[in-house]
Structure 1
């Protein structure tokens, strides 16, 4: 949920510390590529889940003192591979039949923002892209959506079940 709510890279997510989170203000301080720091807002659902995790579960799983937000069953930082395994286990418990990777979740975050009206510059900042051209990858999907909607809704587009009389 946190990954989808924020669009974090896996490396950013597994390196989060408890002190990186400000639930009261609703943001996470993220250290991204090139040690660049950015502030990313957290949605209400992710905030609630994080609060439950921090107040009810995190301490039960700690094996040794750690400032990390998430860790493996040995109390160490999760590796990217361990995160992917956990993600696959979660996906297998659902009815989702598509192949989903951590990057798929990040991609969905950006695409859904774009499809719901966010501007590309804001998405660039949220994703931590230094160059806007990296962010424009997500416009392709939005352009396909626009094309599909045009074909579906424009009165001059011939629909499969329409016949010309």
Structure 2
């Protein structure tokens, strides 16, 4: 069987059995097709030395890119083993390129306060501009609920639950999750809904579709400039990071945060614990039984 046919079968399995998204399937297809082109032997029949030579050709790539390509190969060969096309998975003997997940950029509480102060002032009054109310609601949802930019702009109008306490999000991998709305967000939502048609498909309509991610970035950075915050330090993703970090600082449970952010792996959520080190040290010093023993002994 040709490599192309094997790759097609693998992609069909990933789509049907694992529900892989279109973007994930496209990435697997690119990585495996490229590997087949670089490999001297047939990809499906390659041995350990063939694959070591292939990974050596990836040395010029970022470690994260090489690791992604190895992950695609591992899953591909695991599929071939399951299908009985080969007896072993040679990638299991290849070390994963070491990667270091970059720490997220976050905004300070003062910067967040400045953004909200500017947005709330612009949306105040008896008849505030429609765009100002929209901007305030988008800010509330980005920082108050931790939505991704793509999730925010593509929110259907019907995603807002009847109770007003949750919003239904279609996230990565087309997975749905319920995200709680703060009381602040619900109040601004009530102010925004009269500005859009009752039969609108989108919560943030624009032209024949919804607001674009690029326009969202532009609006946020324009707001940051008016608020006296460096526009280059502000983006939807930075506000999502701030939501997670500040929630952890307030004592949020990591599992609950994982659900709200829509992370498939809690290891992705754990990156936010880096900013909480000071609170953890204080917790040990004040709450650990040994701290109470010291207090009793008068130390």
TM-score by length of structure 1 reads 0.79
The match for 1:22 among 143, 161, 166 is 161
Q: Distance in 1 between matches of 2:259 and 2:216?
A: 24
Aligned-pair distance for 1:80?
Answer: 1.3
Tell me the distance in 2 between the aligned counterparts of 1:18 and 1:138. 31
Q: Please give the per-residue CA displacement for 1:47-105, whole angstroms capped at 9, x wherever unaligned.
A: 111110102x234xx9xx63110133x34222211110111111111122361111110
Aligned equivalents of 1:116, 1:23: Cα separation in 2: 29
Is 1:87 matched with 2:220? yes
Instruction: Report the 3-state secondary structure (helix = DSSP H, G, I; strand = E; otherwise coil) of the residue aligned with 2:179.
Output: strand
Length-normalised TM-score, structure 2: 0.45
CA deviation after TM superposition for structure 1 residue 144, in Å: 5.0
Separation of aligned partners in 2, 1:112 and 1:86: 23
- On the 8 A contact 1:23/1:51 being kept in 2, the answer is no
CA contact (8 A) 1:12 1:31 kept: yes
Superposition pairs of residues 50-129 of structure 1, within 5 angstroms: 50-55=189-194, 57-59=195-197, 66-72=200-206, 74-97=207-230, 99-129=233-263
Residue ranges of structure 2 left out of the alignment (5+ in a row): 1-139, 284-299
- Deviation string for 1:4-39 (max 9, x for gaps)? 111010111111011000262410000100011100
* Structure index of larger Rg: 2
| In 2: Cα distance, 1:95 partner to 1:146 partner | 32
**Cα RMSD between the aligned structures?**
2.2
Q: How many angstroms apart in 2 are the aligned matches of 1:119 and 1:112?
A: 12
What secondary structure sits across from 1:66 in the alignment? coil
